[in-house]
Structure 1
Amino acid sequence: MKELRCIVFTDREVVTAITERRRKLNDVFPEGDVTSLDYTIDRGVTAKLSVTLNGAVSELAIAEQELQAAVVGYCMSRNIPLPAVADKALYVIKGRATLMITMNFRKPARLVVLGVE
């Protein structure tokens, strides 16, 4: 048996995931309000946050590994079960960040013989 599971995140959930991860790791996050979130798909998914404070706009680029770690951490902190032994990849589907989890895709099928005595 093979399993494919997709978790689709809203923009607000992605921004929350990134800010929570950065706060946990004591990484710098610009002060202000997040005014936009854009994804770029080129050999992986990256995100760009625009943060506005007093009319000044700062941009923050989030690499794929950080983005994926942020959404996985977001799921874990909200007790959303994720299999430890599974492949996890980040995609953008219909403009939304989507965590795709696959299990047993690399295992060969087992041959089961019935009725042999």
Structure 2
Amino acid sequence: MDLHELRWSGSEKKIARQAFEAAIEAALAGIVTKFKAKAAAVVTVSDVWDIENYLRRLRREADELFDYRYSRLCSVFARLICLGHMDEGQLAGLSDDKREIILGLRDWMRER
């Protein structure tokens, strides 16, 4: 099935949004924790610039990862599961075909 042709019902959109927001919160909490540890270890100005580069990289990665276009959600959810930011249980209520696509993509990503 073409991911661009998937149709999302109103209830699926609500479930997807809740799962997406929870994943963002989890990912950002991890970033904040890592940032605090890095900031606490700063000794030189070079360390500060290293943190700046680290944060820029994370921002780019987050902007790419957290893409809430419905045509991209299945692959986004699969990647979020692989990264540990989302649990498969959060997908309960999505149609069987969407869950199968997401879990199939997750398996494929894990094999790579």
Would the TM-score normalized by the shorter structure come out above 0.5?
A: no
More relative contact order in 1 or in 2 (CA 8 Å, sep 6+)? 2
TM norm structure 1: 0.28
TM norm structure 2: 0.29
Greater CA radius of gyration, 1 or 2? 1
More helix by share: 2
More strand by share: 1
